[in-house]
Structure 1
Amino acid sequence: MQEILAADPEMRVVTELASQATAEMAARLAAHPHAEVRCAVAGNEAAPPAVLAALVTGEGLPPARRCLVCDREETPFTHDPECPKLDCDLPPGAACDGSHESTVHQTHVSALWNPATPTAAVIGFAGHPSMLLRRPLAVRPDLPAMVYERLAADPEPGVRAALAANPAIGDDLMRALAADPDPDVRRGLAFNPRLPLKVLTRLAGTGKIGSTLLPRIATASRAEIEELAASPDPVVRMLVAERRDLAPEIRDALAVDLDAKVVKSIAPHPGLSDASLRAMVDRHGVRVVARVAKNPEAAPALLEDLARHEPPVRKALREIARHSNATAAALLVCLADRQARHLAAGHPALPPQAVVELLTDDDWQVVEAAAANPALPPDVMSALVP
């Protein structure tokens, strides 16, 4: 079958084959006269490493004779990004002067993203003018330390941010990147699973990390968690509070933290008592209501109180509308919120009569959710079936 497809007159068929072909067929198609087929081979992880290296260097392969550009236009030609032709499907900036340069460039990009491409074939691109070729290098785990050091000085923050998240870089380079002036680079570093905790604690307040479970926090030992939970920096305590497997004593200590962002992070943690959740709301008000409503063990009565909270917290209504413990009273309140309405419409605790009324709602999402609600009376459900 591959033989038949490889000989197909339609180039799109051969290109699709090249992207998925076995090693033997990929090796054959790497010498195809059409540059687009070679580009597809460059992204195929089954292609032999030596073949991928040849696609990068050009060594050992006959020159490509055609590309999408010279198939259609007289060369030299550069495609106008604002091309007025309605039937034109050439990529913006596609160009050919006889060397098929835009397709060759994309071939290099595909090969650099391909983990099967040998290291020796790609390291020379660390200083390439195109950021599109430097960035895939920054995420590779197999480069020499000197290449990573060069990429750490890259003028493009996107390259440095990709490098910062790469677990293959060393501790010294991580410490250097922690002082990078770009917040996206520091944020990328915060997501590096091998980041030393001392670097993470210094980085916590500077990287625009937000409330999320970082990989290094997720794998921290009990002793490390205890140390981080006692940090004087509330951002560090907030990051620890994102774990959902904390020891009860650490969880409870974070639940009474004086900083609202710490409490917001710990509020959805299972095991917190009703009294503890209510105390959070009493102490921090609207800042924590939505996160308390997200707690999987929030009691029905608490959810009702949160739904009626003054001032209302719209995000909390969305959490309540999808909560398994939500009561009919709480869900009826949620129906008044535009973004929570379709969630509440599908909740099985919603009163049947309310579900029936929602079948004529102006919002199709609400109607669809109500029609699928198991609380819909059987006779009404039967009437909906053609």
Structure 2
Amino acid sequence: MTPDATEKATGPGERRLAGLALNPAAPVDVLLRLLASDSAAVRVALCRDRALPGPVVDAVVAHPDWRTRGFFAENPYADPEQRARLVDDPEYRVRGRLAREPRADDVCMPRPLPDRTVVRIIETYEDELLWELNRLISPGLQRAMTTHPSPKVRGMGISRLSWKSLTPDTRDALLADPDPGVRKSAEANRSSYERLRDPDAVREDLPAHHCHARTHLLLYGALAPDVVAEALSQNPWSIAFNDSTPPETVALLAAHPDPEVRAEVAVRSDLGPAERRALAVDPDPGVRLALSVHPALTEAERAAIDYEVEQDDAYCLWPVYDPESVPDLELVRARALSAHPLLRRRAAREMHLPADLVALLADDADLGVRVLLGQNHPDAPAALLLRCFLEHTGRDRWHVTRHANFPRAGLARFAGDEDPAVRRLALLDPEVPAETADRLTRDVDSQVRADAARHPRLPQDRIAALLDDPELAHRAAANPALPVATMYTLIAAAGQPVS
């Protein structure tokens, strides 16, 4: 059960029912009785925090309480087709929750709504409900928005894309669109882009005080010489990033006393050979590291740089929102074969990495390479995934256990590990001995105890005892080994009808 749902439970009976609502073995009849509960905590757990069978979804969608329908609208575990049934809900707040991306966790990532549903939302919802659609729009629809038959979809496509990213034919078509609203949006987009590429317009629009708008223009706008000169003394890091900064200014920035400015310059694709040579021996290690991955360098030139790559916790899941988008595999291969760990890390997070490179990087000497490969590649081998978990203790550590290839058999051997996170692994083993599961319900770590209370190998007498435990009652109620007769007893004890 999620912490916020647990906190809403006001008593032990309600907490047990909220746990029961998450029980994967609870039959439809039990779930329907829980749906009829007066408890918001129970309905949150049931409707928002688990996948539901079809008959229960039918009842949720038709439920008279808008809050209950709203819980389901933001359920990341539900099939998007099921959530889509709420697209024309009469309650504004339910529609708003449907149009908002569900929260992500280490169990599942939000999935796009069906294209027809997103189109319906764009065409019929109030504008203030549309700004959070984001990844609810499938990659295919995102690519097709500016040429979609619906003028509202075309208009939204314009607002989501930069004018620069559109092909000339698409620009012309939008500027001549039969819908006046689309033409107006296209003209506004073009005008904004052209002003950003006009040094005089950028100077005119540049606020005198430091603010987000000023930073944006200095980062992305075409800059006149006088603007560059002023920024060189006041905002040097921003023009170090700007593509329009002239070569002579880039050379000055490469010698700037602030190492953060020099590090920003070091990644510029247009950096000249003289500047690259100077930054390669920069006194600051961060600058040398930034320069060491410059695309213009040869492997020999990289190797000549005295850089150091730290091991940290930034090896996380790198979600791929467009699986049909295939990277430059020649570039990916070059990175995977590089002697530079940071380049190999970039390759390791690519889900399209070929099998031979997966095998190569799975045994890489760099922890970051191995973890990024394990977190992101669909064919990451089982041995690598377990190794990643055991060696990497940073954020998103648990996510790797959700990988389809993560090994579960034999994990009971970790039940006595000194690291509580590793002890949790034992409870992923479907054949963990009953006595081990029992012992772990008494573990010093609260998360280990919670996992153990839900394990189906837990002895029945221990499950029964935990139903009266103030801390673990809701976990025990979610245990799939809980007898159905006991489920009805819990419902009756909480004052809910059982027949």
* TM-score normalised by length of structure 2: 0.39
* TM-score normalised by length of structure 1: 0.48
